[in-house]
Structure 1
Amino acid sequence: MREVKVSLFGFGNVGRAVARVLVEKGKLFRENYGMDFKVVSISDTSGTLWLPEGVDLREALLVKETFGKLSSWTNDYEVYNLTPEEAVKEIDADIVIDVTNVENAHEWHLTALREGKAVITSNKPPLAFHYAKLIGEAERRNVPYLFEATVMAGTPIIGLLRENFLGDTVERIDAVLNATTTFILSRMEMGLHFEEALRQAQSLGIAERDPSGDILGIDAGYKATILHCVAFGPKTFDDARVKGIAEITLGEVQRARKKGKTIRLVATVERGNITVEPKEVPLDSPLSVESHENAAVIWTDLLGELVIKGAGAGLKETASGVVSDIVKAALTITGG
């Protein structure tokens, strides 16, 4: 049985979902892959819980969900006040997982890679602004840098583009990549004005208290930038042309419906070009998604048109992408 040591950064909703999967599927990982994942540290905004023998994930989940912070845990564990960079240097781990939304996390991703540690992340800004540097460092160190959950949660579009189109030339990608805007536009189709639909999304926890990242198209722009990096080569978010849905009116939505179309926030990615903007989409188009679904239409020279569609949000769905990457990284570093 091969033991794989893991450091987890971020113990909010996604971090806890990842921890639950590691607990619930431990037997599967041992039986299918001959691996035992040992979480040696967990970091949240209150500090870093570090135990070389392995943290009891069930207890950690209970403490976080009861008290809201890991620093409330006093029995048997010491909570350290470490920066992420200090933690990745000092803690002996094989894999570093970042499920935070810290924008400058690329700095400690690079530190981890230079320490010879694999990095798994669902955090979009590091890749949307620093893809070339991160991938270059990972290749120089010959360690995995994996980021499936940054785009379409657990729906495996990143793996598809990185690992499966080895003889194809990707020509174009059209995609709906933000579930919050889809929810708002769907509610507008039911007769709500934009502000009413946004308030409903916030009340249901679908939109953040500050929804600007979604409604201004920034989140979709990050994801579209990452798709360009994988499919065509490095670009940054600064190269993307992004327009959100904040100016879409109820009248525009209703007129589109009368034409047999729906308005969705569509990302278009071609070599050298990244655009995100609201577009009218035919109702029978793969991009006419509902609820928390995402969809992408990929065109290649050999395969032609390929549609990939699935959950683009959700805790279990995002955990699926993260955990899949953990297994991939573990298989690589252990020679499995």
Structure 2
Amino acid sequence: MEVKVQLLGFGNVGRAVARVLIEKKAFFKRRYGLTFRVVSISDRSGTVWLPEGIDLREALLIKENFGKLSAWTNDYEVYNFSPREAVREMDADLVVDVTNDKNAWEWHLEALREGKGIITSNKPPLAFHYGELIGEAEHSDLPYLFEATVMAGTPVIGILRENLLGDTVKRIRAVLNATTTFILSRMEQGVDFERALRQAQELGIAERDPSGDILGIDAGYKATILHCVAFGPITYDEIVVRGITEVTAGEVERALVRGKRIRLVATVEEGNVRVSPEEVSGPLAVSSNENVAVIETDLLGELVIKGAGAGLKETASGVVSDMVKAALGLTGA
């Protein structure tokens, strides 16, 4: 079966998704009987639209050589669609949102009402509008999948949504932000906060504006999404968040003396979500770009799921897995 895809966002993650679709095209056909035809790609400069399918290799070359899709004027017409116009105007089965658009929930709803399933790595729409989005998807009988919003491709969302169906989740404790883990790990080695942050930025682990990470906002979005899946809708505005900016070298050192490490920990219980630096040991004492979630349930007890919480291939894994899952759902497989 051929599945028509609109790709909104062609930054690092969008390009990583395109590379996977190229490299594993034969695998998807052989394993699942699926072919993905990308009919449109949008970046900040415009939208390239070709109903018979866009050459992804060429799209990557244009973006990497010129920095914007609007430079692709020889072979394709470039449209100045808003995301809402893009999802309304074009014929597609799935809309893949790998943008950082905080208002994307509006065009997610539009896409669902146009009969298109959604796959997204974009956290704010779910952190503020989960109930509305999932409600519309259920009403429309369409997939709305978002594995890559939490722990990149490590399938914590899939486990909560699809596997623990007989369990009652009691609590989730998780370390969900790789940037803060990197900074705190460096502080354990005697590097001061500011220098550790600069190193994270130089390595591409932290953004130029790192406030979303160090203030706990990113972890807060992810913790909110975990609550929505495990317990039911809640919004980011209802949770308590404290970042790592006030963690001192002395606190880090004293924790090490006690055989512990300070990490930015999300605690998710029914009706209660908080994110704050805590002294931890055991599974939560991760390092590098690892994320971990400890899920406590009535039947299974304690389940630890650990894996890469950042990285382009890792995030693309979550997005593309959702694309396959959604496509198989559309085919009735």
Fold match by TM threshold 0.5: yes
1:308 match: 305
Mapped partners of 2:283, 2:274: distance in 1? 19
Distance in 2 between residues matched to 1:206 and 1:168, nearest whole Å: 36
Compute the displacement of 1:203 (Å): 1.5
Q: Does 1:49 align with 2:48?
A: yes
- CA distance in 1: counterparts of 2:196 and 2:2, whole angstroms: 48
| C-alpha distance in 2 between matches for 1:303 and 1:230 | 18
- Deviation of 1:145 (Å): 0.2
Measured after TM superposition, the shift of residue 75 of structure 1 is: 2.3
Which moved further from structure 2: 205-214 or 314-323? 205-214
Tell me the residue number matched to 1:66.
65
The CA deviation string for residues 201-252 of structure 1, in whole angstroms up to 9 with x for no partner, is 1121111111110000000000000000000000000011000000001011
Aligned-partner residue type, residue 184 of structure 1: I
User: Secondary structure of the residue that 2:204 maps to in structure 1?
Assistant: coil
**Structure 1 outlier segments of 4+, above 4 Å:** none
TM-score by length of 2: 0.99
Within 5 Å, which residues of 2 pair with 1:253-292? 253-282=252-281, 285-292=282-289
**Aligned match of 1:25:** 24
Alignment match, 2:218: 219
Partners of 2:11 and 2:201 in 1: how far apart? 18
Cα distance in 1 for partners of 2:178, 2:23 equals 27
TM-score w.r.t. length of structure 1: 0.99
**Which deviates more from structure 2 when the two are superposed, residues 89-98 or residues 72-81?**
72-81
Which residue matches 1:317? 314
- 1:40-81 residue CA offsets vs partner (Å, 9 max, x unmatched): 000000000000000000000000000000000122211100
The residue identity in structure 2 corresponding to 1:59 is E
Q: Distance between the aligned counterparts of 2:11 and 2:208, measured in 1? A: 16
Once residues 50 and 125 of structure 1 are traced to their aligned partners in structure 2, the CA distance between those partners, rounded to angstroms, is 27
Which residue number in structure 2 is paired with residue 177 of structure 1? 176
Could you tell me which residue of structure 1 aligns to residue 88 of structure 2? 89
Distance 1:13 1:209 in 2: 15
Q: Which letter maps to 1:318? A: T
3-state secondary structure, aligned to 1:103: coil
Determine which of 281, 294, 297 is the counterpart of 1:297.
294
Please state whether the residue corresponding to 2:278 is helix, strand or coil: strand
Matching of residue 330 in structure 1 with residue 327 in structure 2 = yes
SS of alignment partner, residue 208 of structure 1? coil
In structure 2, C-alpha distance between the alignment counterparts of 1:210 and 1:32, rounded to whole Å: 41
2: distance between equivalents of 1:97 and 1:104? 15
The alpha carbon displacement at 1:193 in A equals 1.2
1:107-133 Cα distance to aligned partner (Å, 9 max, x none): 000000001100000000000000000
Distance 2:5 2:136 in 1: 20
The secondary structure found in structure 1 opposite 2:326 is helix
Amino acid at match of 2:310: A
RMSD over aligned Cα atoms: 0.5
Matched residues in 1 for 2:225 and 2:88: separation?
A: 27
Q: What residue in structure 2 maps to residue 129 of structure 1?
A: 128
**C-alpha displacement at 1:167, in angstroms?**
0.4
User: What residue in structure 2 maps to residue 246 of structure 1?
Assistant: 245
Distance in 2, matches of 1:251 and 1:287, equals 21
1:230-245 pair list within 5 angstroms:
230-245=229-244
9-18 vs 204-213, which deviates more? 204-213
Deviation per CA, 1:81-138: give whole Å up to 9, x if none.
0000000011100000000000000000000000110000000000000000000000
Worse-matched range after superposition: 220-229 or 25-34: 25-34
- 1:115 counterpart letter in structure 2: E
Q: Displacement, 1:195?
A: 1.1
1:143 counterpart = 2:142: yes
Q: Structure 2: how far apart are the matches of 1:71 and 1:222?
A: 32
Q: Determine if the alignment matches structure 1 residue 6 to structure 2 residue 12.
A: no
SS at the partner of 1:29? helix
Aligned equivalents of 1:312, 1:7: Cα separation in 2: 25
Q: Which amino acid aligns with 1:103?
A: K
What is the aligned partner in structure 2 of residue 206 from structure 1? Answer: 205
Alignment gaps of 5+ in structure 1: none
* Partner residue in 2 for 1:102: 101
Aligned to 1:286, the other structure's residue is in SS state helix
